[in-house]
Amino acid sequence: MNISDNLRTTNDVPCFGYTSIAFLKRCPDYIEAKQNGNMQAAEKIVKRCTQKRQIEILKEKFKHSIIIPVVSTNNMLPLALANHIGLTVCLTVKCINSKQRKNLSAIERILHKPNFYGYIKPNESYILIDDIITQGGTISSLIKFVVESGGYVCAVVAVAYAKWSKKIIFGYANIIVLKSHFGNGILNLFKDYSITIDKIY
């Protein structure tokens, strides 16, 4: 699969994904990597789901960027992908509230996004990494944290993604249509729930 086949843009933030969620979950040792903190299992899965040329293109395009994986004690897949790419990895940014979201419905997950804390270098560019992107709630919250801390998000990368999930945040055209139907109040609602980010638009 060519990396260009997996590229969508939300303004200037490209989102890369390497395989389907179904394929990822069929990989041997998926549970070991995702739930039991097995780094060796995660590394094998990442190598199986990515192609060398895809990684090389990503590294060349964003060679001066810092990678932030969504770090978890049990899930080694984001960190394994970050290490596999081979750029500088930031491990000081941590996610909180993620465990409480696992059993929530789709709308509840939108309204209860995780929060992040840690140090972001002002004016540095960052690549954000997660193992799976579905609704994009975790990544959109991480984008918000990085941008509001003075950093710049140059790309989002996931091992696997759901169909249509590469549209992490609303595009400008979507916002214009929503404003015409619901007025400016809808934008305030989105901002309250980290669904739009002023600095990206």
| Res. 200 pLDDT band, cuts 50 70 90 | very low
Residues 144, 198 within the same domain: no
Residues 160, 183 within the same domain: no
CA trace torsion 12, 170, 80, 46 (10° rounding): -90
- Inform me whether the pLDDT recorded for 87 exceeds 90: yes
Query: Which of 181, 129, 184, 123 is closest to 160 using CA atoms?
Result: 129
Residue with tokens 């992107």, as numbered in its chain: 133
Residue 69 CB burial class (10 angstroms; 0-12, 13-18, ≥19): buried
Residues 131, 180 within the same domain: no
Residues 143, 193 within the same domain: no
Q: List, for residues 20-66, the tens digit of each pLDDT value.
A: 999 999 999 999 999 999 999 999 999 999 999 999 999 999 999 99
Residues 175, 156 within the same domain: no
Residues 154, 127 within the same domain: yes
Residues 182, 153 within the same domain: no
Tokens read off for 157: 């990368």
Say how many domains are in the chain: 2
Residues 33, 82 within the same domain: yes
Residue 186, domain extent: 170-201
Whole-prediction pTM = 0.75
Residues 182, 91 within the same domain: no
Residue 39 is part of a domain; what is its CATH number?
3.40.50
Tokens read off for 28: 């041997």
Length of the chain in terms of residues written: 201
Residues 64, 89 within the same domain: yes
Least confident of 9-18, 24-33, 149-158, 162-171: 162-171
Tokens read off for 2: 């060519």
DSSP for 123-183 reads T-EEEEEEEEESS-HHHHHHHHHHHHTT-EEEEEEEEEE-TTTT--S--HHHHHHHHHHH-
| Res. 133 pLDDT band, cuts 50 70 90 | confident
Query: Which of 62, 130, 59 is closest to 93 using CA atoms?
Result: 130
Residues 102, 186 within the same domain: no
Residues 56, 152 within the same domain: yes
pLDDT at 2: 31
Q: What is the mean pLDDT of residues 120-144?
A: 88
Query: Which of 169, 127, 133 is closest to 152 using CA atoms?
Result: 127
Q: What is the mean pLDDT of residues 98-127?
A: 74
Sorted by sequence, the CB contacts under 8 Å of residue 22 that are 6+ apart come out as: none
- Inform me whether the pLDDT recorded for 17 exceeds 70: yes
pLDDT at 120: 96
